[in-house]
Amino acid sequence: MRSFALGFIPLQLLLLMLMGFPSRLAAEEEMGLWDCVEAAVTGHIAVKAGRWRVEQARNTVEQDRTLFKPDFSFGAHYTANSYVPKIPLPGRNLPLGGHNDAGISIEAGHLLYDWGGRRDKLKADQDQQQSSFESLRALRETLAFEAGAGYLRLLAARSERKIAERSVETADEHYRHLQALGSSGLLTYDEVLKGRVHLEQARLMLSRSANAEKLARSELLLRIGVPLTSAAEFADSAGQIPQPLPSESRLDSALARRPELAAYDSRLASLESMAAGLASENKPVLRLFANGNVARPGIDQFRNEWIGYGRAGIGMSWSFFDWGRKDYAVAKLKAQWEETLANRRILGQQIALEVQQASLTAEEAGERISVAHSGLEAAEEQFRIVRSRFEQGQVTNTQFIDAEDAQTISAIEVTRAELDLGLARWQLAYATGELTARIDERWAEKQTDERQDNH
């Protein structure tokens, strides 16, 4: 029986690793485990949506940086047929000014000092950007795990289908042999019927395993973000799965590498900066301003001519009482901070449990696969002996069918044990953050924000 190897690196996969894993394989090439991971973490529509969230956060940071720069405004007005009062004089009325009013104004302003409010807002949004970036990494981590698990299930389903095919071939050959014996009068009809039933059961198992393989393939295509109508082909070997770390360092590695925890840390820092920014709003701010106006006031002058004037200075504003609105906002942020901290602690405990479960499952799966291979070897030898004796007429038809069933069941058990071992190692790589480290090495997302100190 052909099964997928978990610790063996095919030459083609090794070459792909050395070449840096091209982003898109040719259509005629078979996709391996890491090709599926690459498709999931680079081309899945969910990843594209996550990148747009990071881009939105980056734009918010850039918008915050403009708060440290001066602002400019321009205004213009024109009023036609304005009311013009007149001074009554003997024989005539003297109009004051003209009928039109027009003006142009230009103003520049710059916030000199705000007790760190702008700085805190910038830092809060930078931390939020980092949080969105870490959330994107966590999303890619999850997609990679699901893609790898789907690929391993496809290999197992394919192996079971091949086992079923061999079982049908054996059952069909046996049934033809029984028919020949029955026609010669050397076997009763009920034994021939038993052989036909065995063949029909084998065909039913083949139909089920074929359907299971189709469903596993469709699920894998869904996990890697490829349409179900795709003609993509997949290899027969899982290739390299990251080896588990020493048990004493697994939890520390998980807590340091898992991007979900990093996202929580950035969110906590963002909430702290937002609270500090709100607190600064209770203090006065200083603003530098300069403006100039050119206007034709109309009714303001007898001669109705254009005049210009300007001013410059420093202004102070202070919202010293707001009925506690800022205090309530700070308290709300504090509650969000406490909730986020609690959720982070819960996640840390869940990760610790995941690491422990994955470690124990991997150890158990390693022991099970050894037993499964021994069972298959025994079943194959038993069926070889029974088959030989049946041809010599020394064992019954029932014994032949039972031996063949035992061999098929043992082969399926090996396939499922190998699947469980592959999934256990894949789960351990996910839980300890090793999978994220491999993704970052090969297909890292670039953090576009470079933090700058603005005062």
**Is the pLDDT at 383 greater than 90, yes or no?**
yes
Amino acid identity of 282? N
CA distance 295 to 387: 111
Q: Residue 93: which residues within 8 A CB-CB, separation 6 or more? A: 86, 87
pLDDT of residue 297: 64
Q: What is the pLDDT of residues 388-447, one digit of tens each?
A: 998 888 888 889 999 999 999 999 999 999 999 999 999 999 998 889 989 999 998 876
CA distance 416 to 111: 68
Confidence of residue 28 (pLDDT cuts 50, 70, 90): low
Degrees, nearest 5: CA angle 33-34-36: 70
pLDDT of residue 138: 94
| Cβ pair 161, 212 in contact under 8 A | yes
| DSSP E strand stretches across 304-423 | 307-317
Residue that wins the pLDDT comparison between 280 and 418: 418
Q: What is the pLDDT of residues 291-300, one digit of tens each?
A: 888 876 655 4
Q: Which of 269, 191, 259 is nearest to 451 (CA)?
A: 269
pLDDT of residue 31: 92
Q: How far is CA 314 from CA 70, 111, 113, 290, 448, in A?
A: 14, 10, 11, 9, 37
CA distance 455 to 115: 10
pLDDT of residue 347: 93
**Is the pLDDT at 11 greater than 90, yes or no?**
no
In this structure, what token pair is assigned to residue 34? 């890491």
CA distance 213 to 249: 38
Write phi, then psi, for 393 (nearest 5 degrees). 80, 20
CA distance 88 to 110: 49
Q: What is the pLDDT of residues 36-74, one digit of tens each?
A: 999 999 989 999 999 999 999 999 999 999 989 999 998
Q: How far is CA 232 from CA 74, 283, 330, 372, in A?
A: 60, 63, 54, 32
14-23, 289-298, 372-381, 439-448: which has the minimum mean pLDDT? 14-23
Confidence of residue 17 (pLDDT cuts 50, 70, 90): very low
Confidence of residue 2 (pLDDT cuts 50, 70, 90): very low
pLDDT of residue 98: 56
The mean predicted confidence, pLDDT, of the chain is 84
| Cβ pair 163, 412 in contact under 8 A | yes
Q: How are beta strands 233-234 and 30-31 bridged, if at all? A: parallel
Return the biggest CA–CA distance within the chain: 149
| Cβ pair 437, 257 in contact under 8 A | yes
**Is the pLDDT at 243 greater than 90, yes or no?**
no
CA distance 334 to 279: 12
Domains of the chain: 33-69+114-283+324-440 (1.20.1600.10), 73-113+288-317 (no CATH)
**Is the pLDDT at 263 greater than 80, yes or no?**
yes
pLDDT of residue 83: 57
Residue 168: Cβ within 10 Å count: 19
Residue 311 DSSP class: E
In this structure, what token pair is assigned to residue 14? 């090794």
| Cβ pair 432, 244 in contact under 8 A | yes
Q: What is the pLDDT of residues 91-140, one digit of tens each?
A: 777 666 555 677 889 989 888 888 888 899 999 999 999 999 999 999 99
Alpha carbon 355 to its chain centroid, in Å, reads 20
Residues in the chain: 455
